[in-house]
Homo-oligomer: A and B are copies of this chain.
Amino acid sequence: MRTVTKDNITDVFMGYVSKDTDPRTREIIGSLVQHLHDFARETKLTHEEWRAGIAFLEGCAAIETEDRHEFVLASDVLGMSSLIDMINSSEDATSSSVLGPFHVSGAPPLAYGGDMKRHYGGPMLLAEGVIKDTAGNPIAGAQIDIWQTAPNGLYASQDQEQDTYSFHGLMTVGEDGKYAFTTVKPVEYTVPSDGPVGDILRACGRHPWRPSHLHYIVTAPGFQPLVTEIFPDDDPYLDQDTVFGVRNDLVMTYVEKPASEFPEGMEVSGKVTENFLQVTFDVTLAPKA
């Protein structure tokens, strides 16, 4: 169409989309392009500013590796990852929260009561709970893919000092739906801010901190998979998580207990000599639609 103008270009674009196009594809591309065009029109975006936007994407591309997912990080700090989580959350289930860019697939099995902290120091945390359905019944055979930072604030994928699956574990629950493991209490940490996403944070006067959290992906046949996190209720960054991941039902009290109250049946039972923290976090999965 010769007479493309800044006011009709969105309609011209949709006119180019074939009538045979999958309706959902048409809906998504149509909404995306309408919003991108409106963004440019409303801000009267200059060439220089748009080039800066392209340069942002190219800058993300330049540092993207198997272990550094800058586009996911951009999605996280812009609130898109959390928004997609909330749009797709089932109201009857535990809230989902951001996957983040540091999950590594293929974590080794972690038995019930297993110890993820190994030789690392720091406050011992006993995390336990039940995986259940919306009626409160345990889900036998549910799997929990667990990961977190080491005490230095780095995930295994960011840290050459750690093994590939350091602070990663895959637990399968039994008939009672119960899980339990020991670890080091995760620390607050900063998302990587040495790349283009860090430039955005700095341009907006934002910090790169996340509150302490443990990541879970919980799956079971017949249920909707849940990507979520647990936060301690005394964390200073709880109200200003840079990736918008905190939900009320994911904030838990980490109870300090004497060594004498450490339960039986854990890998480190009988070897605990100092106070430990305990958090109980039950997870409810929604049935598949």
Interface residues of A (CB under 8 A from B): 1-6, 9-10, 12-13, 16-22, 25-29, 31-33, 35-47, 49-50, 54, 57-58, 60-61, 64, 69, 71-72, 75, 78-88, 200, 203-206, 238-240, 242, 244, 246-248, 251
Q: Which residues of B contact A39 (CB under 8 A)?
A: 31-32, 35
A54: nearest residue on chain B (CB-CB)? B71
CB closest residue in chain B, given A22: B203
Q: Which of B21, B31, B47 contacts A204 (CB 8 A)?
A: B21
Cβ-defined contact, A41 with B71, below 8 A: no
Give, as a whole number of angstroms, the nearest-CB distance from A212 to chain B: 14
Give this chain's copy count. 2
Q: Please list 26 pairs of residues, one from A and one from B, whose beta carbons are closer than 8 Å in the complex, sorted by A's number.
A: A1-B246, A2-B247, A3-B248, A12-B79, A12-B244, A13-B244, A16-B204, A18-B204, A18-B205, A20-B205, A26-B204, A29-B204, A31-B43, A35-B39, A36-B78, A36-B80, A40-B83, A40-B84, A45-B87, A46-B88, A47-B84, A47-B88, A50-B75, A50-B84, A54-B75, A58-B71
Taking a contact as CB atoms under 8 Å apart, the answer to whether A239 and B1 are in contact is: yes
Known A20-B205, A83-B37, A206-B18; contact A58-B54, beta-carbon cutoff 8 A: no
In the A-B complex, the 6 residue pairs with the smallest Cβ-Cβ separation, listed nearest first, are: A18-B205, A61-B61, A35-B35, A6-B86, A35-B39, A17-B204
Distance between A115 CB and nearest chain B CB, rounded to angstroms: 31
Contact pick for A87, options B1, B44, B57, CB 8 Å: B44
- Inter-subunit contact A13/B79 (CB<8 Å): yes
For the complex with contacts A6-B87, A13-B78, A60-B61, 16 further pairs of A-B residues with Cβ separation under 8 Å are: A1-B240, A2-B248, A4-B86, A6-B86, A16-B204, A17-B205, A25-B203, A31-B43, A32-B39, A40-B83, A40-B84, A40-B87, A47-B84, A50-B80, A50-B84, A61-B71
From residue A50, how far is it (CB to closest CB) to chain B in Å?
5
In the assembly, what is the distance between CA of A109 and CA of B269, in Å?
80
